[in-house]
Each structure stands twice: as structure tokens, then as C-alpha cells.
Amino acid sequence: MGLRVGVFGGSFNPIHIGHLIVAEEARCRLRLDRVIFIPAGQPPHKDAGGLAPAADRYDLVRLAIADNPAFEASDIEIRRPGRSYTVDTLAALRKSLPRGSKLFLIVGQDSVAEMKTWREPRKILSLAELVVAGREGIDPAALKALRPMMPRKAHPVVLETRIGVSATEIRERLARGETARYLVPEATLEAIGRRGLYGVSRC
């Protein structure tokens, strides 16, 4: 029997409550059997500067989602050599899931505008239904630009979340020695401190 699986990729540098809220909203609204969090090994569209080691980011994700049985972490992109491409990940997941399963690709609003530049965007949109999460609404022009690449009759699912949390803000706060409590799950925040990630001096 097929499964409904959310695929939530990103640098997760670090993972925070905004990511968890988006994933849970997608799980409930789309009746997903599970949501797979996939930290990127080498993101092709991001500068590696300031990026915590992939193994650390993966461990932080595992700690953050440990209390939700519908969430799981995958190191598929970390184990794969070279840059991490979404199309390769979706193709591999498709092969590993039972026949009849359906994938839902969860992305942030910033990724929608960039998606045309990703490797094989048409294939990405044929392998998974697009789910877009935004803090301040979704740019309709960006979605419109993707429609010619989407399968016929496919419509992106839009999740509007109002939690204004960003990984950049969290890294900056930690680097200044400020608290990020309640922005990041407690177990994850403790691990950041133990490992000395993001220049943290106290948290």
C-alpha cells in the first residue's frame, strides 16, 4: 500500500521551531504518513561559509524531531558525494518507497523563486507535489513562473505560517552570545552549546 510522504530538505543551519511548525502543518493538512527531514550535504545554491558540518546539522535535526513519531531524519544527501541535488534525492526516495506512494516536496517561499535554476526542475515537479511555506505570504509571480514546468492539472499547496523565525537570525544571536531559547528545541540548543557551533558563547 502506498504512503504519503513529505520531503523537507534544506541546510537546517540550524533547525528551528519554524521548520517544525511547517512540517507539522504539512503533515496534518495533507494527511502525510511521515515527513522526512533531509539536511543538505553541500547545498548547490548556498555559500559553504558559516555552514556547520553536515554531520552536526544532521544530529541537530534528529534531536529536534525525536518526540514526533511521524518525523524522521535522513542522511541520504550527506552520504552522497558532491553537491546535493533535490532531483537525485526524490528519485532515490521514489525507488525506496512502496508502489503507489506519493511524495510532497516542502520548500520555503525563497526557494520558489530559485527553483527554475535547480537541476532538472521539470523532473522535480513530476516526482513530487510542491508544497510552499511562507511567513509573509507567497509571491504569486514566482508560482506563476513555475506553472509551465508543472504536470498538467498540478497545483502547488500553499501553507502560510506566521512564525517569523530564521536560521540566519538564530546564528547571529548565538554568535553575539544571546539566547535562542524557545527558538530552537531545547535538546538541539544544548547540543549546539556542547559542540561550540555558530560561535556560541552562551545559550
Domain ranges of the chain: 4-198
Average pLDDT of the chain?
90
Give alpha helix (H) positions in 31-132: 54-65, 76-79, 86-96, 109-114, 121-127
Instruction: Assess whether pLDDT exceeds 90 at residue 103.
Output: yes
Query: Which secondary-structure segment (H or E) carries 26?
Result: helix 17-30
Q: How far is CA 109 from CA 5, 70, 106, 142, 185, in A?
A: 20, 24, 10, 9, 23
Crossing angle of helices 54-65 and 186-195, rounded to 10°? 150
Pair 88, 80: CB distance under 8 Å: yes
Q: How far is CA 2 from CA 73, 92, 94, 96, 101, in A?
A: 20, 16, 11, 11, 4
Give me the pLDDT at residue 45, please. 64
HSE on the CB side for 130, CA within 13 Å? 27
Which residue has cell 499547496?
Answer: 157
4-198 is classed CATH 3.40.50.620 = yes
List, in order, residues 6 or more apart from 25 with CB less than 8 Å away.
133, 159, 161
**Residue 2: count of CB within 10 angstroms of its CB:** 11
Give me the pLDDT at residue 10, please. 93
Instruction: Assess whether pLDDT exceeds 90 at residue 125.
Output: yes
- Cis link prior to 14 (omega < 30° from 0)? yes
What is the band of 203 on the pLDDT scale with cuts at 50, 70, 90? very low
Instruction: Assess whether pLDDT exceeds 50 at residue 1.
Output: yes
Separation of alpha carbons 43 and 51, rounded Å: 10
